[in-house]
Amino acid sequence: MARSVDRRPDDAVIEGHDVVKEYHTGEQTVRALKGIDFGIASGESVAVVGPSGSGKSTLLNLLGLLDVPTDGSVTLYGEETATFSRADRTRKRKDVIGFVFQSYFLIPTLTARENVEMPRLLDRTPERTRERATELLERVGLGDRLDHYPDELSGGQKQRVAVARSLINDPALLLADEPTGNLDRDTGDRILDLFDELRETEDVAVVTVTHDDYVATAADRVVRLIDGTLRGGE
Amino acid sequence: MIPWTRLFGRVPSMLVARRNVTRAKVRSGLAIAAIVIGVVAIGAIGAGGAAFKQSQLATLDDQGATNVFVLPGIDRDERTFDRTDVQRIEERIAPAGVLATRSGGGELRTREGTEPVSLTYLAAPRLVYDVRAGSIPTNWRRGALLSAGVADEYGLEPGDRVHLTRDGETSVVRVEAVVTGGGGVGGPSVLLPLELTGERRFSRLRVTTQSVERAESAAATLREEFNGRTDTLLVFELTSLVRLFRSIVNGINLFLAGLAAISLLVAGVSIASTMLMAIIRRRQEIGVLRAVGYGRRDIVRILLAEAALLGLIGTAIGLTLALLVTMAANALFLGGPLAFAGESLLYLAAAALFGIGVSLVAGVYPAWRAANDRPVEALRG
């Protein structure tokens, strides 16, 4: 039954081989990922589906270079991520990866545009950043909400700001953790449509982690994560 | 408002810091208030104390700190000096002048009755006194000089004649001049020529100089020259008193400023706790920053900017208040709100530096902790 579910594409952004991740909680060792293989090609759309506790978040953390595997290898453009220093990982995250979270995680004291600019705020290119942020917000349909603060926006609008933020550094990989989890179906649909559009126009691979099968239907490829192992998708 | 915004635009960590400071208004306000109290305490105590010290020192200078007093030492057989002694002393310490004096009490008879006055016999009044009215005769052997206090009190002028009782005998003496100055030795008194004592010996000598430093060096010279193995002279100068006073006031001032500094340390604790609260409340937010590519150093920078901003605002307000207090002290002690003593400015500067410094130091631990929180954990919340 356990067959390799990945395509191991030549143009892979990030690949994993025999990836194991263990957590230590007190005396116990929890094996969250039990040796999985995966590969994300540039521009593709993958949904990772699984019940809670299946290791989805762990996988997402590894894909997002927020964590390193206990065993096995994760490579970013062929480079082994375990060899990166913490500062390297931070820089790669900034250059390659965009994040969208279930609860948006916008900074309440910054306007929509400032939130989008935020990942690049410390770069010394304020004008270019501002232009790009404005463009992205227009792109996600919030051109008229540039100077609104998060508490003046609806949930869907917040998530669209978050999507715009994730794209500010022109990432190759967009990681979305339950992006529609806090939204009603219509609004969620619009976010998923937005991902599809962006995938084409911005040439970004989108990995969506969800426990919702409905969300998964929007993706090109679905992988199921059950109890730390991958099962084939449709 | 535009340049302000632009300035913050230039320094993005300041933009984030400013927004965050206004976010928890009450907490930020309390932290700022703590800094204000500390800065005002250090600044006002230090600078006010400095103004007080300066005014007291000026008074002491007026009171004769430029004088050195010489009495027969314990190893000297005679309890008085004669003219030869005076000359010997004079030779050593020229160009400072020596004044042989004797004092005593007497009574001045006026229309209202007899009033006790202090009598000072001296040889060369011009060395010490300034003439306000009348003139001191070149060869002064008779007649009295009145200190301004006495002259004013009894409405006396040069040319008046007064009845003066000395050693039980009353004589009529002409007022030659009204004098001021004198290093405050006499206070309100009647000055008489030394000749009138009928003696050639003096119980006390006074060396007058132009400055506190010269008085000090004259005293040192006398001790060196006359007090080798035996103490023939008892030399004392007010400068030593000045020095003592200065060290006492400095000590008290430093002690009080130190107490004030403790209040600033408390302010530091308050900033640290404000920042700790902030990083706990914003844990996920900081996690997001880390996720989107903010390095640990960036996080430290942003949070330190926030702590520094709290300190900066507190210091600015505190310094303004301390400045007002100091100006009040200046007006009270030094005759004008803008008559800043050099030391006052030093205390104010120290208060400002300390205010900002404490805030920065207080921000270090929370910033470090936030920066080292693993983003995976932080995002999980």
Percent of chain A's residues with pLDDT above 90: 47
Q: In what order do the strands lie in the sheet with A221-226?
A: A97-100, A173-177, A205-210, A45-49, A221-226, A229-231
Within 8 A of A126 by CB-CB distance, chain B residues are 9-10, 12
Within 8 A of A162 by CB-CB distance, chain B residues are none
Alpha-carbon gap: A81 to the closest alpha carbon of chain B (Å): 16
Q: Which residue is listed with tokens 């057989």?
A: B77
| Among the partner residues A94, A103, A109, nearest to B292 by beta-carbon distance | A94
Average of per-residue pLDDT values in chain B: 82
Residue A2 lies in a domain: no
Residue of A nearest to B13 (CA): A122
Instruction: Quick: pLDDT tens for B136-164.
Output: 888 787 888 888 888 888 888 888 888 88
Q: Does B9 touch chain A (CB under 8 A)?
A: yes
Is the predicted pLDDT of residue A133 greater than 90, yes or no?
A: yes
pLDDT of residue B56: 81
Is the predicted pLDDT of residue A230 greater than 80, yes or no?
A: yes
Within 8 A of B13 by CB-CB distance, chain A residues are 122
Cβ atoms of A99 and A166 closer than 8 Å? yes
Residue A1 lies in a domain: no
Residues in chain A: 234
B293 with A165: Cβ contact below 8 A: no
More confident residue, A97 or A109: A97
Is the predicted pLDDT of residue B242 greater than 90, yes or no?
A: no
Within 8 A of B16 by CB-CB distance, chain A residues are 107, 109-110, 121
Residue A4 lies in a domain: no
Number of neighbouring beta carbons within 10 Å of residue B158: 18
Q: Name the pLDDT band for B10 (thresholds 50, 70, 90).
A: low
Is the predicted pLDDT of residue A98 greater than 90, yes or no?
A: yes
CA–CA separation, A169 vs A233, rounded Å?
30
Distance from the first to the final alpha carbon of chain A:
14
**Count of structural domains within chain A:** 1
Looking up residue A101, the CATH number of its domain turns out to be: 3.40.50.300
Is the predicted pLDDT of residue B253 greater than 50, yes or no?
A: yes
B19 with A165: Cβ contact below 8 A: no
Within 8 A of A94 by CB-CB distance, chain B residues are 292-293
Is the predicted pLDDT of residue B213 greater than 90, yes or no?
A: no
Over residues A40-47, the mean pLDDT reads 90
Q: Extract the tokens encoding B184.
A: 């405050």
pLDDT of residue B250: 86
Percent of chain B's residues with pLDDT above 90: 17
**Cα B347 off chain centre by:** 12
Q: Name the pLDDT band for A4 (thresholds 50, 70, 90).
A: very low
pLDDT of residue A142: 92
Phi, psi of A39 (to 5 degrees): -155, 135
Tell me which of A122, A149, A173 to substitute to probe the interface with B (most B C-beta atoms closer than 10 Å).
Answer: A122
CA–CA separation, A59 vs A172, rounded Å?
17
A110-119, B25-34, B122-131, B326-335 — which is least confidently predicted?
Answer: B122-131
Cβ atoms of B50 and B339 closer than 8 Å? no
Q: Extract the tokens encoding B370.
A: 């936030």
More confident residue, B313 or B166: B313
Which residues are CB-contacts of A127 (< 8 A; sequence separation ≥ 6)? none
Alpha-carbon gap: B3 to the closest alpha carbon of chain A (Å): 16
pLDDT of residue A1: 35
Alpha-carbon gap: B359 to the closest alpha carbon of chain A (Å): 22
Alpha-carbon gap: A180 to the closest alpha carbon of chain B (Å): 17
Within 8 A of A64 by CB-CB distance, chain B residues are 291
Is the predicted pLDDT of residue A6 greater than 50, yes or no?
A: no
The closest alpha carbon to A183, from A81, A100, A108, A94, belongs to: A100
Over residues B354-374, the mean pLDDT reads 92
pLDDT of residue B62: 66
Cβ atoms of B211 and B60 closer than 8 Å? no
Over residues A63-70, the mean pLDDT reads 91
Q: Does B20 touch chain A (CB under 8 A)?
A: yes
Is the predicted pLDDT of residue A135 greater than 90, yes or no?
A: yes
**Cα B90 off chain centre by:** 33
Which residues are CB-contacts of A40 (< 8 A; sequence separation ≥ 6)? A12, A13, A14, A15, A46, A63, A173, A205, A207
Is the predicted pLDDT of residue B369 greater than 90, yes or no?
A: yes
Q: Give counts: helices (H), strands (E), chain B.
A: 11, 10
Is the predicted pLDDT of residue A131 greater than 90, yes or no?
A: yes
Domain that holds residue A223: 12-231
Q: Name the pLDDT band for B1 (thresholds 50, 70, 90).
A: very low
A198-212, B74-88, B350-364 — which is least confidently predicted?
Answer: B74-88
- The angle formed by the CA atoms of residues B256, B262 and B265, to the nearest 5 degrees, is 150
Q: What is the pTM of this model?
A: 0.71
Alpha-carbon gap: B293 to the closest alpha carbon of chain A (Å): 4
Within 8 A of B19 by CB-CB distance, chain A residues are 107, 109-110
B376 with A61: Cβ contact below 8 A: yes
Over residues B158-172, the mean pLDDT reads 83
B289 with A118: Cβ contact below 8 A: yes
Average of per-residue pLDDT values in chain A: 87
Over residues A196-210, the mean pLDDT reads 88
Residue A182 lies in a domain: yes
pLDDT of residue A7: 46
Instruction: Quick: pLDDT tens for A164-184.
Output: 999 999 999 999 998 888 888
Within 8 A of A95 by CB-CB distance, chain B residues are 293
A105 with B285: Cβ contact below 8 A: yes
| Among the partner residues A66, A114, A126, nearest to B291 by beta-carbon distance | A66
Q: Which residue is listed with tokens 């969300």?
A: A215
CA–CA separation, B257 vs B263, rounded Å?
10
Within 8 A of B379 by CB-CB distance, chain A residues are 66, 101, 105
pLDDT of residue A3: 37
Number of neighbouring beta carbons within 10 Å of residue B152: 13
Residue A49 lies in a domain: yes
Q: Extract the tokens encoding A113.
A: 């545009």
Over residues A43-51, the mean pLDDT reads 90
Q: Name the pLDDT band for A5 (thresholds 50, 70, 90).
A: very low
The closest alpha carbon to B274, from B303, B236, B313, belongs to: B303
Residue A7 lies in a domain: no
A66-70, A130-134, A139-143, B124-128 — which is least confidently predicted?
Answer: B124-128
Is the predicted pLDDT of residue A233 greater than 80, yes or no?
A: no
More confident residue, A151 or B216: A151
Q: Show which residues on chain A lie within 8 Å of chain B, measured between beta carbons.
A: 57, 61, 64, 66-67, 86-87, 90-91, 93-95, 98-99, 101, 103, 105, 107-110, 114, 118-119, 121-122, 126, 165-166, 169
Within 8 A of A166 by CB-CB distance, chain B residues are 292
What ipTM was assigned to the predicted interfaces of this complex?
Answer: 0.87
Instruction: Quick: pLDDT tens for B333-360.
Output: 888 888 888 888 888 999 999 899 999 9
- Please state, in angstroms and as integers, the Cα–Cα distance from residue B230 to each residue in A123, B84, B215, B220, B236, following that order: 81, 19, 22, 15, 16
Q: Does B283 touch chain A (CB under 8 A)?
A: no
Over residues A6-12, the mean pLDDT reads 60
Residue A6 lies in a domain: no
More confident residue, B265 or B83: B265
Residue A196 lies in a domain: yes
CA–CA separation, A85 vs A90, rounded Å?
9
Is the predicted pLDDT of residue A49 greater than 80, yes or no?
A: yes
